[in-house]
C-alpha cells in the first residue's frame, strides 16, 4: 500500500549539504591522497587547506571536475614509519565548509632476513665474509625481482648474486657487504 501525497505538496527535501571524502593509497613510504567534495570547482574558495599530522601539507593539484564534484590529488613521499592522519578542508564560496580525514599506516621495511625467508631462501649472518647472505638450493631459482627486494634491504653495499656448486648441489645466493 502506497502513501498518497497531495498534488500541491512540495517535493521531498533532498540533502544538499557539502560532503568531502579523503582516501589514501600507500606504497612503501609514499602515499597518494585523493580528496573530493560534492561541489563544482567554482563553488570552492581557494586555497583548499590540508594537514598531515596537524602540520600544513600540500593538497595537490585539482583533478577533473564536474558540475557536482571536485577532486584534488597529492603524493606524499618520504613519510615516516607509523600511523598518520591527512585532513582536508574545503571552504565554499557561500560560506559553508566540508572536511574529511583519512588515517593510514607506513610499515617499516622488511628486514633482510624477512625478505630472504619470504623469497624462499635461507638467511645467514656473517657468511663467507659478507654481512649477510640469502641462499637457495636450485632449482627452483629465486623469483624475478628477488635481487631488487634484497638490494633495498641491504643497507650496505649490495653485491648481487652468485650461483655455484657446493658438494654437487647447485646453490644460488644474494649477498650484502
Residue 177 has what pLDDT?
60
Q: Is 137 helix (H, G, I), strand (E, B) or coil?
A: strand
Residue-wise pLDDT tens digits, 55-77: 999 999 999 889 999 999 999 99
84, 106, 128: which is the final residue of a domain? 106
Parts of the chain with a pLDDT under 70 = 1-15, 127-130, 136-177
Check which CATH number belongs to the domain holding 41 and give it: 2.60.40.10
pTM, two decimal places: 0.68
C-alpha neighbours within 13 Å on the C-beta side of residue 52: 20
Contact by Cβ (8 Å): 69, 38: yes
Residues 28 and 92 in one domain: yes
Residue 112 has what pLDDT?
77
Residue 120 has what pLDDT?
75
For the chain, first and last CA: distance in Å? 79
Residues 121 and 99 in one domain: no
The cell numbers describing 60, all together, are 595537490
Residues 118 and 98 in one domain: no
- The whole domain housing 100 covers 20-106
Neighbours of 40 (CB within 10 A): 13
- 102 in a domain, yes or no? yes
Residues 101 and 128 in one domain: no
Residues 25 and 101 in one domain: yes
89, 106, 123: which is the final residue of a domain? 106
Amino acid at each position: 500500500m502506497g502513501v498518497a501525497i497531495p498534488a500541491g505538496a512540495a517535493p521531498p527535501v533532498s540533502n544538499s549539504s557539502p560532503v568531502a571524502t579523503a582516501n589514501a593509497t600507500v606504497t612503501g613510504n609514499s602515499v597518494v591522497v585523493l580528496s573530493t567534495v560534492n561541489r563544482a570547482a567554482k563553488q570552492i574558495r581557494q586555497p583548499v587547506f590540508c594537514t598531515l599530522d596537524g602540520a600544513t601539507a600540500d593538497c595537490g593539484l585539482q583533478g577533473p571536475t564536474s558540475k557536482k564534484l571536485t577532486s584534488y590529488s597529492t603524493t606524499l613521499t618520504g613519510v615516516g614509519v607509523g600511523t598518520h592522519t591527512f585532513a582536508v578542508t574545503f571552504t565554499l564560496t557561500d560560506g559553508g565548509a566540508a572536511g574529511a580525514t583519512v588515517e593510514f599506516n607506513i610499515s617499516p621495511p622488511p628486514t633482510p632476513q624477512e625478505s630472504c625467508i619470504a623469497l624462499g631462501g635461507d638467511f645467514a649472518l656473517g657468511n663467507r665474509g659478507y654481512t649477510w647472505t640469502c641462499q637457495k638450493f636450485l632449482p627452483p631459482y629465486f623469483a624475478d625481482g628477488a635481487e631488487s627486494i634484497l638490494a633495498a634491504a641491504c643497507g650496505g653495499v649490495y653485491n648481487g648474486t652468485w650461483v655455484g656448486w657446493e658438494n654437487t648441489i647447485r646453490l644460488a645466493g644474494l649477498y650484502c657487504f
